[in-house]
Amino acid sequence: MGKLGVLIVDDHAVVRMGLRAILNRETRFEVVGEAADGVDACAQAERLHPQVVIMDVSMPTLNGADATRELLKVSPASSVIALTVYDEPAYVRELLAAGARGYVLKRAVIEQLVRAIQVVTEGGLFVDPTLTKRPRPRAASDEAVPAADLTSREIEVASMTALGHSNAEIAVALRIAVKTVETHKTRLMAKLGLHTRAQLVRFAIYRGWLASR
């Protein structure tokens, strides 16, 4: 049997380089292409029809979920594996609903990525096992916060707000209106029971949302 063709999609060149190095250790895989955003990923998938696509979740222009939906329209036989720092159930649900067959956390990539590729190419579904083992964290106020109730877009807005981005900057990065950013921010703060940006920053740090993506 020939090698499995893999397309790597991530907006950070150093991450793509690391993933290529990991996959090159395996004689079963061949990295057939790289893309820095979702739009380029769809174009390359339509041309290359890779068996596997390693898809970053948080990217400019077209995020992982939207890119997965569009990519599977032009390359329906591809198996998409989401790769991210986000361990929120909202992200898992959205990516799987978009058609992804796997969900792997970046901090466990070496241990889990090869296994995920094996599972999805055999027709299975792979979700990083640490997602079911990690205890739910608590908010800065020491009260439980239902972070699972946030949508993936709200988590993105929360993360970027905590990092200091303005509403206008977030709107440009996510390709949505400033008013939409404000609406997301109002809703997520209400859901989390937070009132200030400082509280949001502490909560984001605790959740690991500010890790390098």
Q: Give the DSSP letter string of 166-211.
A: -HHHHHHHHT--HHHHHHHHHHHHHHHT--SHHHHHHHHHHHTTTS
Antiparallel, parallel or unpaired: β 29-35 and 52-56: unpaired
Burial class (CB in 10 A: 0-12, 13-18, 19+), 13: exposed
**Is residue 161 within 8 Å of residue 200, measured between CB atoms?**
yes
What per-residue confidence (pLDDT) applies to 140? 41
Domains of the chain: 4-133 (3.40.50.2300), 147-207 (1.10.10.10)
Token pair, residue 38, equals 């979702």
Looking at residue 61, its pLDDT comes to 78
Give residue 69's Cα distance to chain centre: 14
- Decide: helix, strand or coil at residue 62: coil
Stretches where the chain sits below pLDDT 70 are 1, 132-148, 205-206, 208-213
Q: Are 192 and 155 in contact (CB under 8 A)?
A: no
pLDDT for position 175: 84
pLDDT at 77: 95
Q: What is the pLDDT of residue 138?
A: 43
pLDDT in tens, 109-153: 777 898 899 889 988 888 887 774 544 444 444 334 455 578 878
Helix axes 64-74, 89-98, angle to 10 degrees: 10
